[in-house]
Structure 1
């Protein structure tokens, strides 16, 4: 019966700041706004494919959440870092090598890079890789992943 995830929602402290971030920084398409309810909606990817809702709440009612944007592999590997830095966003990974580059979650497998929105929510660009997962490898660099496939 379930075929996918259609929408997810985040609580944000300043709706206008978050609308600006998701619309003008990340480039999502705004598809709804209700000032009385203090909520905005965005299409993620193609219109009517998936949706993000932003709900304004007081700071003490906001807990940090995480979600990932599905991307093309070339975009994650070769464009994501520049995209983020051009928008004054700090990319990060779990490689513990001090380098700002995508990582591979070998168990999936998928290449990914993380960054934060203005409220501190953990966002991710991710692209699934061909082949079977190798959970025993943990989190590794893409270059290392290529030596196993």
Structure 2
């Protein structure tokens, strides 16, 4: 019955500001804008693949959420620079003050986090080749590669 996640929705305080962030800054493809309902939808991964809906609401009704954008390993590695060029700061899962992507050994996947203008936690994530190694926990890519070489 279920073959994937098709859409997710976020409440935002300022739809125009969020459109600038998601559409212009991140480069998501506009799917539809409904000015009567103060909503905007973006395609993720191309027409009909997945969708992000933004709904303007009063700040008191916004509950911070998290979701991840599927990416490639190369793009996640380039994300700290890409985000910096857009005035955003990446952070790793440990939130230890660095912007170097980390590997989740149980998946395995490489990930980096950042925030949107409302404070929602966004993630760029890419699956890695090789079998899961949950015993490694969350490690740097360098540590992951060393473990794979053994």
Interval containing the TM-score (normalised by the shorter chain): over 0.9
Report the counterpart of residue 102 of structure 1 in structure 2.
101
1-side partners of 2:24 and 2:135: how far apart?
40
1-side partners of 2:128 and 2:29: how far apart?
27
Q: Is the 8 A contact 1:76 1:113 kept in 2?
A: yes
TM-score, structure 2 as length reference: 0.95
Report the counterpart of residue 87 of structure 2 in structure 1.
88
Alignment partner of 2:19: what SS?
Answer: helix
Superposed, 1:45-60 pairs within 5 Å as: 45-60=45-60
Alignment partner of 1:5: what SS?
Answer: coil
Report the counterpart of residue 29 of structure 2 in structure 1.
29
Q: Is the 8 A contact 1:95 1:140 kept in 2?
A: no
Shift in Å at residue 95 of structure 1?
3.8
- Whether 1:64 aligns to 2:60 is no
Shift in Å at residue 143 of structure 1?
0.3
Cα deviations by residue, 1:68-97 (Å, 9 ceiling, x for unpaired): 1101111112x1111100000010013465
Q: Is the 8 A contact 1:103 1:113 kept in 2?
A: yes
Q: Once superposed, which parts of structure 1, at least 4 consecutive aligned residues long, lie more than 3 Å away?
A: 95-98
Classify 1:37/1:90 alpha carbon distance in 2 versus 1 (closer, same or farther; 3 Å): same
Q: Is the 8 A contact 1:106 1:139 kept in 2?
A: yes
Count of paired positions: 148
Q: C-alpha root-mean-square deviation of aligned residues, in Å?
A: 1.1
TM-score, structure 1 as length reference: 0.95
- Whether 1:16 aligns to 2:16 is yes
